[in-house]
Amino acid sequence: MKTAQEKRVLVLDPGFRTLTGHHFNNNVSLTMAGADANAKFRILAGDSCGSVGQLDPFTTPHFATDLYEGSVQFQESWEFDCWLHVNTKFRADLEAIEADDLDWATLILVPAITQFHILSLARWLDQELRKRPELKVIIQLMFSPTWTAWDAVCKSGDQMYAEAFDILRPHEGKRVFYCSELAASCREFEPMLNSKVQVLPHPGIWRKTAATSTSQSTEGAPLRIGYFGYAKREKGFHLVPDVVKLVRKRFDASEASFFVQVNHGAYDPEIVAADKALSDYSDPGVELRVGSMSDTEYLDSFESADVLLLPYDPELYRGRGSGVFSEAIGYGKIVIAPESAGVGEEIMAGNGAGVLFAKHDAQSVASATIEAILGARGLLKTARQSAQKWRDKHSGEGYLKILDGLIS
Amino acid sequence: MTSHTANYPVLEAVVVIERGLSDPMTEDWLTGIDLLSRLGGIPADPATAHSQRPLSQHIRLVRPKLKLSQAATWREIVAAAGAMVESVEASMHEADAAGMAIWLEADCAEMLACSFAVERFGGEGAITEIFFDVTPHAALRFSEPFGQQVLKRIQAGLLGGGAKPYFVARHAAIDEALHALGAPVVVDPPFAPTPRSAPTNGQTPTRAELDIQDITSTTASGDKFYTKLRQRVLELMSQRSNGPMEVSVKGAVAQIVRATPYLEDLASAKIALSLHPEDPENQSALNTLNASPVLRLAFPEGYEDGRVSDPDITALREVRSRSTPAEWINFLVRSAHDAVGYGVKDLSIGDRNIRLDIR
């Protein structure tokens, strides 16, 4: 029997497929916080999801459609093809959700969705909401309408979102609530909606170690600059070799060292070329880590950095949030980020410390990095002061608190 | 602006597909008759052609399950295309036998359904060409970001099935809209604008306004002017349906002249023209407009009664009586430069009746 305060949250997370990564972290964070917040969770994950450790009791592999899926029947019409293919397939996944799960739930949480999935989601939700008058829905608009998982720019994404929002219009603000991670990404969607898009930070899992455990605290150690995450053009990986070389012209290995994660799918020639350029660059102060890392290794490496390179392309990245960015702020790092993207806006709003670049090229990113190194002492102090506040906000507890405010 | 001109072969059989051809009073029907008469010797008299049996050998009717409004969303358009695929596929098989299909007044859903259908039975490869007579509204929708994707999918799907798509533009605005999107556009003589009046059938014309001055004032470059103008003309045309329409055009004459090819798209509309005498291009402008086989100039509302209160009207009539048409226009324009306020109407120049308002 449902009690008035109890939340029974059915999480639809087709992107959750592995024991690591942000989908995993978010779900762990939420389920851990749920116990104190009288919230219970059932997570419908991607169908290839194997054992996910502590999340196993909550998780059912379900979605054949991946969150990062596309399908190109004809090169010229790939946007339409993806839209048609993904929506058709995703609708079948949604229709296959057990009635028992839907009857159990008081809230459906969609932590991420794309322009290629949202039409089928909207149609299905409209149908289920009409059948279940108590049910409410939170949709986290994680990606800009132009985003794709494969670095292409989707020009018709706005129309794809707008038509889906139109279907859910009767429920909007009453039973369907839209959220996004950063203020900038909320603004991207608000023109298409009648209601305000709420900021709902993605919850992270934070190590209890102090945010000050950086190499800078070791007297005489070089300042460590890190690049982490999946290597794509939208994340500016192709600029990294030149940035490293330009910074090296100004600071030697005793003053600045680099840790670069090189993790890509080898489908983009520009990224492959950048990988090769880094591999060919012989410098004792540049450490490359090829491939993916376990959570422990990732966090160990992350915590050893003082400055995080986020050479994101603002045209592609736009208002979207970033796991690496969030971790950088939460662990008190200095960030190098684009001025005209959502992540840069957060720095300008005083939510962290960093140096922003206006132009998306290696020279500008390198100049920002050099400026950060020169001002590291003061910037790190500010960064560490902001860290705890960010962690509190970007936590399972913080997430559920905002969620409560939205649906109550 | 015009891409190329196609020379249609005279074919033994052509499949023409059009959902509205059952009604012989529509413009679609007349166009179908006109086209078939050029292609296959069908009698061109619209009064009798609809009862001619041979027509049925050439025409396949397709009736979509869902009649779409012009405000249809893309999801509705795609759904309608999906719902039509089976019936369209049957027609496409017939077209396959004929080697060629012509779809009159094709809207987005119909073209997409056609593409889906050819994709489904693709591989037989006998159908080599499909001509879509694109509606103004479809051209407008194709200009949207999602519409561009749909247009590309239509092309790619048909080409994948071995059929080359051509988009037939009966109007300059459609031609330019599709050409700008990279679609293969055919401006074909059978489809070229003709000064045919739309049948009024006693209907009151719909009134609309095309404010070119506004377009001019909000754009900086000529390209933008044409883009916006094209968009507005397409919007007007898509509103026109089959009924008569009177369009009042407001703007400097120089701008109206630049817009002439687009205004001709509104061939069945009366053009109410406001001249701006301070514009130095008025003289040639009037001649250009007057030379159009399609435009019929008319006064704006409020000048219909023919009475002109200007005290100099007598002098004007004298000048008119001893002038050639060209001299008369020149005089009007020169006068208008000097003194704003003349109102003149019901001029007979040569064999044309031109109604002007100079103020």
Q: How confident is the model at residue B89 (pLDDT cuts 50, 70, 90)?
A: confident
Q: State what percent of residues in chain A have pLDDT above 70.
A: 96
pLDDT at residue B344 in the model: 35
Interface of B with A in 38-57 (CB under 8 A): none
User: Is residue B133 scored above 60 in pLDDT?
Assistant: yes
User: Is residue A192 scored above 70 in pLDDT?
Assistant: yes
Q: Which two tokens stand for residue B310?
A: 């200007």
Q: How confident is the model at residue B285 (pLDDT cuts 50, 70, 90)?
A: low
Longest dimension (CA), chain B: 77
Q: Which two tokens stand for residue A217?
A: 């605290």
Q: Which of B5, B32, B2 is nearest to B20 (CA)?
A: B32
- Are residues B356 and B332 in contact, defined by beta-carbon separation less than 8 angstroms? yes
CB burial of residue A269 (10 Å; 0-12, 13-18, 19+): exposed
For residue A30, give how far its alpha carbon lies from the nearest alpha carbon of chain B (Å): 35
User: Is residue B277 scored above 60 in pLDDT?
Assistant: no
Strand order in the sheet with B245-250: B206-211, B245-250, B270-273, B297-298
Per the CB < 8 Å rule, is B153 touching A119? Answer: no
Q: Which two tokens stand for residue A283?
A: 């410098």
Q: What's the average model confidence in pLDDT over A344-363?
A: 96
Per the CB < 8 Å rule, is B146 touching A75? Answer: no
Considering only residues A213 and B230, tell me which one the structure prediction assigns the higher pLDDT.
Answer: B230
Judged by a CB distance cut-off of 8 A, whether residue B185 touches chain A is no
Q: What's the average model confidence in pLDDT over A197-204?
A: 91
Nearest to B149 among A77, A158, A166 (CB): A77
Q: How confident is the model at residue A399 (pLDDT cuts 50, 70, 90)?
A: very high
User: DSSP labels for B108-144?
Assistant: HHHHHHHHHHHHHHTT-----EEEEEE-HHHHHHHTS
Distance CA A101, CA A105 (A): 6
pLDDT at residue B193 in the model: 37
Q: What is the mean pLDDT of chain B?
A: 60
Question: What is each CA distance from B169 to A61, B131, B183, in whole angstroms?
Answer: 52, 10, 11
pLDDT at residue A6 in the model: 86
Q: What's the average model confidence in pLDDT over A383-398?
A: 93
Q: Is the ipTM of this complex over 0.90?
A: no
Per the CB < 8 Å rule, is B153 touching A80? Answer: yes
For residue A231, give how far its alpha carbon lies from the nearest alpha carbon of chain B (Å): 28
* Chain segment A243-284, per-residue pLDDT in tens: 999 999 999 999 999 999 999 888 889 999 999 999 999 899
Planar angle of CA B85, B87, B91, nearest 5 degrees: 105
For residue B85, give how far its alpha carbon lies from the nearest alpha carbon of chain A (Å): 15
Nearest to A74 among B78, B144, B153 (CB): B153
User: Which one-letter DSSP state was computed for residue A236?
Assistant: T
Q: Which residues of A touch B153 (CB under 8 A)?
A: 74, 76-77, 80-81
**pTM higher than 0.80:** no
Q: Which residues of B touch A83 (CB under 8 A)?
A: 149
* Chain segment A14-56, per-residue pLDDT in tens: 999 988 888 998 999 999 999 888 999 999 999 999 898 999 9
* Chain segment B104-117, per-residue pLDDT in tens: 778 899 899 989 98
The residue whose two tokens read 């397409």 is: B234
- Helix then strand count (H, E) for chain B reads 15, 12
Considering only residues B255 and B285, tell me which one the structure prediction assigns the higher pLDDT.
Answer: B255
Q: What's the average model confidence in pLDDT over B220-244?
A: 68
Backbone angle region of B306, left / alpha / beta, with phi > 0 → left and psi within -120 to 50 → alpha? left
Judged by a CB distance cut-off of 8 A, whether residue B78 touches chain A is yes
Helix (H) / strand (E) containing B83: helix B74-98
Judged by a CB distance cut-off of 8 A, whether residue A84 touches chain B is yes
Q: Which two tokens stand for residue B231?
A: 């968009």
Q: How confident is the model at residue A408 (pLDDT cuts 50, 70, 90)?
A: confident
> How many CB pairs lie under 8 A apart between chains A and B?
45
Which residues, other chains included, contact A245 with Cβ-Cβ below 8 Å and sequence gap of 6+? A281
Q: How confident is the model at residue B203 (pLDDT cuts 50, 70, 90)?
A: low
Distance CA B32, CA B168 (A): 13
User: Is residue A106 scored above 70 in pLDDT?
Assistant: yes
Judged by a CB distance cut-off of 8 A, whether residue A128 touches chain B is no
Amino acid at B215: I
pLDDT at residue B355 in the model: 36
Q: What's the average model confidence in pLDDT over A168-194?
A: 95
Per the CB < 8 Å rule, is A156 touching B149? Answer: yes
Considering only residues B205 and B49, tell me which one the structure prediction assigns the higher pLDDT.
Answer: B205
Q: Which residues of A touch B145 (CB under 8 A)?
A: 155-156, 158-159
Q: Hey, which bits of chain B come out as E strands?
A: 15-17, 59-60, 100-106, 129-134, 164-168, 185-186, 206-211, 245-250, 270-273, 297-298, 347-349, 352-354
Interface of B with A in 252-281 (CB under 8 A): none
Distance CA A370, CA A355 (A): 9
Q: Which two tokens stand for residue A311?
A: 């050479």
What length is written for chain A? 408
pLDDT at residue B356 in the model: 39
pLDDT at residue B135 in the model: 83
pLDDT at residue B240 in the model: 62
- Are residues B271 and B263 in contact, defined by beta-carbon separation less than 8 angstroms? yes
Which pairs with CB-CB distance under 8 Å and at least 24 residues apart come from B203-206? B203/B243, B203/B244, B205/B243, B205/B244, B205/B245, B205/B246, B205/B270, B206/B239, B206/B240, B206/B243, B206/B244, B206/B245, B206/B246
Q: What's the average model confidence in pLDDT over A155-165?
A: 96
Q: Which residues of A touch B82 (CB under 8 A)?
A: none
For residue A84, give how far its alpha carbon lies from the nearest alpha carbon of chain B (Å): 9
Q: What's the average model confidence in pLDDT over A178-184?
A: 94
Which residues, other chains included, contact A250 with Cβ-Cβ below 8 Å and sequence gap of 6+? A370, A373
User: Is residue B32 scored above 70 in pLDDT?
Assistant: no
pLDDT at residue A218 in the model: 55
pLDDT at residue B289 in the model: 57
pLDDT at residue B127 in the model: 73
Distance CA B173, CA B227 (A): 9
